[in-house]
Structure 1
């Protein structure tokens, strides 16, 4: 790997200085959210680095060490990930990204890093000793981390199937004045990610004379990725693009077949150090590159190559997010997304001029062939199968201000984001996106399309809907099954399921039985009528085999009686919310069964289940003469040991509430925990 010589903490003077009377300071509110006031961007991002370290110091240093591919050297763990980061070329791509960034972005990162290191120096006693090996943090570490999370975790690992217990998800709504009582547009940001590690969000407020930006970013990144200012706001959902592909190549003697000839691999090697009890052991990592991509497996005369986006490191996501946050109107925002530097994500947008926007963003490769061709490992030796470029933003599915007055996305393809459809599958090459709509996006669309004259509070109430679209879909079929069995246990179970309102609230007494039934039968494959784009929110429907369904219900009822002794336990007694020292009854459930209030649980002690993935950061915003917003960081805005804000918002989650966003200085001073001055950092 090429050595980088980086100035770590130079206090760059970034342009955009102002004559503002703002004092450089952080107003920490009583939820542990920093409202950062600065007279220029250099000071703003230095304090952003300091603030993140205050709430997440150990986590940040751990993540930067992992992203360097030095987990095995520092802590003697995760050597497989260290090897993969090298083999896939992620570190080299990060370095190219950093080198090619605009100077303004480099300076922002340098200021952010300056704040990180300043905090570590002045608060060394509060940092776990083992993570100090990562210090000092360098500017390129931020890009290593961004690349690791966005490319390796969001994209590559999903395709390598190395992550088993989660799928990236999100909900989003944008509505304009056609749907609201005030005539103002509204926006719902509702990402779903695991409640730990590199998936965690950090909520912050960045205020200069030129901007007043509020939102969240993934821990360890400097710029807000989901945010609003006084004029506009946006959120992201993980979209259905396919930009990681596998090729099966024919090989012999360190060469591979391409267009009828064998060509030599580009082969490089680099050492990694693995910490053992007594010493550091050196191991060599071999990296092989072909025109098709990086080699991840070899067996006999075959090899598997992986191709992932931005391998050349030319695209800068941090710069795009900064530009999106600086936009003050629709045209400026569209210019920002035209950069097309984010690797994935839909963009859903609202503004104070009553505009709403949907954009299918990301590095979407132009490919040879349809969607199905690229869903497995592609045996090939043809250079025609190597995608060499991406669709520009202007050629991706996108629209503004649909006639319906609403936009939704719940990780479904772009063609079901509003009805009547604004864009259709026949307008785009099929390898851009599939055509489908599962139960959660169906629930999402039904909730928002049927709503009118919405206030912000009503908008938030809709967001907290806990009904399962799948449970609602099969209510009639379950009722009809009562006439087809005389088994007492089966009839008792059917009574529970048909008298239940399909809600996953803490007090719901049918939700546990339904979840257990779905575990036994799955979310599809038993329907008589398949899903159809002609009827996207009412299909699939009907049971194909009533006898099989009755047998599954009987089996599920017996299992539940044997395990917990009841067909009607309260959902919140079994499914619990727990973060730090806080624990409350749970609500919400798996998105696969059509819950907009998404929460996935894993088994814990004493037969209880606890959250690991689901609603994380939530923000509902109304854009009028004065912006109004309510938000929640489900797990709290901190992870650092001893921080009072680990899990302190969990009770609101349990009660299905959001808290007020304190957007003005007056509000912040009424709810002030403390003030930190830049001069003291």
Structure 2
């Protein structure tokens, strides 16, 4: 029997059992309806005739699994967290509710999203992107209306007054939120910025911080690196397991126009990391400057005015008011006056970036006008090869703060840092950069000639154009583990890009070095996984091999140290019995597997070394050997034995065994999770607190995708480690967590035949 005929018969049978009308092979349901087919582990495959229908099916499916999480995001975007949950509580990603509301209300008052929506494409959304959003909102609202707030399955928001239908503006605000960097750890420094003598209330404990929760690994493998002579991609984003960065897996199809599978952020109606039939791609957090500061010279005697080219300009005021819930349930109104300039809103921390009588700081986000991200991902999903993907990035420049890595069925691999980067050339920085040194670029705001520049090939002024951003096409491999683009392929180092994009010739992180070492060992067959070259199984095994670079480099030396001195002196001057700890490390194989004993001890020892400023490396970093240095632990260096003694004492004081089994410590809702910390030099990165204060897994590997683009179509293996649903009552809440715990993967279902063969297939027809 021909396959297409067989598939048509399957759908007829399904129609008879689910109330569906017969469906033409490979086509959408009749009458403009939408099919949502769920396969194993709750992965929805949405089939529709157009973009609105596709968005409808996606929004409905997401609501079934994560309505409470998306409703909570809508509360944040409406600046109503303090109204519903109180000012003292915190958002899921740890920001104070009042700070979050003041920041978001200020953004909403500017009308920036509405202005962008009024602009024609590409600065505003395309018609197809608008239809996706329109459908997504309608699908979410349909599920909410059918189910009713009082009957929602998730107890987190069942019957809650804060659950409401979504609007299209909610979703566009969500896209803007995900694009902008000022939502990543900057809110308190923005809403807490006040003139001298007018400190903000205690709710704003102002400080700036780069988001430590966001990272990733990515491999894009070309035909010279794969046994099959085609392209392969490994996606391994490291993101928080709670909060607005949660990912959702789905497959979206408009026959003849779009067929993409992968993962999307909640509230975004398009796959951001994924594959079609000929192309796969992923992203990693970039080292490019997410924002830049301007150092303001204030007018004498007036801290609310600043000087540009010798002329005084008044700051603009934003009076921002939010509702705050009292303990008795009543509402108060809190108003705060915030300030901004042409350089951006005022920004203040409790240290070197304080607002004084003479100096203040303003921050500008190059993504503040980026609503292109939905169109960017839609265009990438429709690309047919890496050159086509690259062309979409040149045209739209809509990727916010991520590198892109991709490979295609022809076996070409791609690395591109084509993203939104402030136009700060090295020449501009040399003329205008000023202090203090705080990890952000600071320009002299008193000179108009220190403004961001413009490139003719950039989609809008103030951004570096694509011609200035590093790009690499290869037939062997490219990778990125969150260091700069420099060693995307060590055989072809990338140089010549502006320093604002990233550094060159500097020490790579242990995780980057391990990731490059894993590629090299696979290409020579020295990793013990069989003949040289990548296959889908060896790519999977490499990903979850749980190697630990610092342990490989230093464990034996530390064991020798503690064997020679079983009672080293701690920082308080008293000796510590480390014999049991020494035995635990001696018996550990150096990997982050569930049965590992000694892995938790090693993690906290390496962390203590870093926090103490101890450099343990015997061979220092050498720019001529960047992947091989630094290496080897020199345990005779000052502070090494002290850090080890203090680590062991911390375990003893907490009553935690030094040979604590990793799987008994590192858990997510009771399920053991393998992996180890990024700072140790672990590829499968996981963060879970300390032995004395375990937090459960808070961040790390999330949606992991290994794809081989074969001549007969893509072969994919995925794992969304925390599961499809945030609802604890859902069967898809922890099912993939348990699967991951056993180092197993979900088999990708991409073709209609593969979907039909899934033994757990459930089909639902929706009529928008």
TM over 0.5: yes
Distance 1:648 1:178 in 2: 36
Q: Mapping of 1:56-135 within 5 angstroms?
A: 56-77=66-87, 78-87=97-106, 92-100=111-119, 101=124, 102-124=126-148, 125-127=150-152, 128=157, 133=162, 135=164
Q: Given that residues 233 and 406 in structure 2 are in contact (C-alpha distance below 8 angstroms), is that contact kept between their aligned partners in structure 1?
A: yes
Partner of 1:284: 335
Report the CA distance between 1:380 and its aligned residue.
Answer: 4.5
Distance 1:90 1:79 in 2: 16
Match of 1:179 among 186, 211, 225: 225
Partner of 1:47: 57
Report the CA distance between 1:126 and its aligned residue.
Answer: 3.4
Report the CA distance between 1:620 and its aligned residue.
Answer: 0.3
Partner of 1:293: 344
Task: Classify 1:155/1:487 alpha carbon distance in 2 versus 1 (closer, same or farther; 3 Å).
Answer: closer
Task: Classify 1:268/1:485 alpha carbon distance in 2 versus 1 (closer, same or farther; 3 Å).
Answer: closer
Give the SS at the match of 2:295: strand
Give me the TM-score of the superposition, normalised by structure 2.
0.79
RMSD, aligned α-carbons: 2.8
Distance 2:579 2:370 in 1: 62
Match of 1:234 among 253, 272, 281: 281
Task: Classify 1:494/1:139 alpha carbon distance in 2 versus 1 (closer, same or farther; 3 Å).
Answer: same
Partner of 1:247: 294
The answer to whether 1:507 aligns with 2:602 is: no
Q: Given that residues 217 and 238 in structure 2 are in contact (C-alpha distance below 8 angstroms), is that contact kept between their aligned partners in structure 1?
A: yes
Q: Given that residues 635 and 641 in structure 2 are in contact (C-alpha distance below 8 angstroms), is that contact kept between their aligned partners in structure 1?
A: no
Give the SS at the match of 1:672: coil
Match of 2:216 among 170, 180, 203: 170
The answer to whether 1:614 aligns with 2:687 is: no
Deviates more, 1:127-136 or 1:564-573: 127-136
The answer to whether 1:555 aligns with 2:612 is: no
Residue by residue over 1:557-585, the C-alpha shift from the partner in whole angstroms, topping out at 9 and shown as x without a partner, is 3332443464323222222232xxxx233
The answer to whether 1:365 aligns with 2:422 is: yes
Give me the TM-score of the superposition, normalised by structure 1.
0.89
Match of 1:655 among 732, 737, 742: 742
Q: Given that residues 315 and 342 in structure 1 are in contact (C-alpha distance below 8 angstroms), is that contact kept between their aligned partners in structure 2?
A: no
Deviates more, 1:233-242 or 1:514-523: 514-523
Partner of 2:554: 474
Q: Given that residues 581 and 598 in structure 2 are in contact (C-alpha distance below 8 angstroms), is that contact kept between their aligned partners in structure 1?
A: no
Report the CA distance between 1:233 and its aligned residue.
Answer: 1.0
Residue by residue over 1:343-373, the C-alpha shift from the partner in whole angstroms, topping out at 9 and shown as x without a partner, is 2101000111111100013211122216996
Give the SS at the match of 1:281: strand
Q: Given that residues 248 and 304 in structure 1 are in contact (C-alpha distance below 8 angstroms), is that contact kept between their aligned partners in structure 2?
A: yes
* Structure 2 residues without counterparts, runs of 5 or longer: 1-23, 88-96, 190-205, 349-354, 454-461, 523-531, 569-576
Task: Classify 1:155/1:245 alpha carbon distance in 2 versus 1 (closer, same or farther; 3 Å).
Answer: farther
Task: Classify 1:234/1:321 alpha carbon distance in 2 versus 1 (closer, same or farther; 3 Å).
Answer: same
Distance 1:51 1:232 in 2: 25
Task: Classify 1:136/1:569 alpha carbon distance in 2 versus 1 (closer, same or farther; 3 Å).
Answer: closer
Partner of 2:409: 352
Match of 2:448 among 380, 383, 398: 383
Distance 1:157 1:530 in 2: 39
Give the SS at the match of 2:534: coil
Partner of 1:533: 623
Deviates more, 1:246-255 or 1:620-629: 246-255
Partner of 1:624: 710
Give the SS at the match of 1:646: coil
Deviates more, 1:338-347 or 1:368-377: 368-377
Distance 1:154 1:363 in 2: 16
Task: Classify 1:565/1:278 alpha carbon distance in 2 versus 1 (closer, same or farther; 3 Å).
Answer: closer
Give the SS at the match of 1:199: coil
Partner of 1:258: 308
Report the CA distance between 1:408 and its aligned residue.
Answer: 1.3
Distance 2:258 2:318 in 1: 46
Q: Mapping of 1:213-228 within 5 angstroms?
A: 213-228=260-275
Residue by residue over 1:357-415, the C-alpha shift from the partner in whole angstroms, topping out at 9 and shown as x without a partner, is 0001321112221699673555652223332411112320111015xx11111101101
The answer to whether 1:677 aligns with 2:765 is: yes
Report the CA distance between 1:149 and its aligned residue.
Answer: 3.1
Report the CA distance between 1:497 and its aligned residue.
Answer: 2.9
Deviates more, 1:153-162 or 1:516-525: 153-162
Distance 1:666 1:212 in 2: 14
Match of 2:491 among 420, 438, 442: 420
Report the CA distance between 1:19 and its aligned residue.
Answer: 11
Match of 2:540 among 460, 482, 497: 460
How many residues are treated as equivalent by the alignment? 653
Partner of 1:13: none
Task: Classify 1:75/1:573 alpha carbon distance in 2 versus 1 (closer, same or farther; 3 Å).
Answer: closer
Q: Given that residues 88 and 287 in structure 1 are in contact (C-alpha distance below 8 angstroms), is that contact kept between their aligned partners in structure 2?
A: no
Report the CA distance between 1:164 and its aligned residue.
Answer: 8.8
Distance 2:210 2:340 in 1: 28
Report the CA distance between 1:258 and its aligned residue.
Answer: 1.4
Q: Given that residues 617 and 633 in structure 1 are in contact (C-alpha distance below 8 angstroms), is that contact kept between their aligned partners in structure 2?
A: yes
Task: Classify 1:154/1:398 alpha carbon distance in 2 versus 1 (closer, same or farther; 3 Å).
Answer: farther
Q: Given that residues 49 and 222 in structure 1 are in contact (C-alpha distance below 8 angstroms), is that contact kept between their aligned partners in structure 2?
A: yes
Distance 1:309 1:653 in 2: 38
Partner of 1:331: 387
Give the SS at the match of 2:179: helix
Deviates more, 1:158-167 or 1:486-495: 158-167
Match of 1:302 among 353, 359, 369: 359
Q: Mapping of 1:137-152 within 5 angstroms?
A: 137-151=166-180, 152=182
Distance 1:551 1:90 in 2: 54
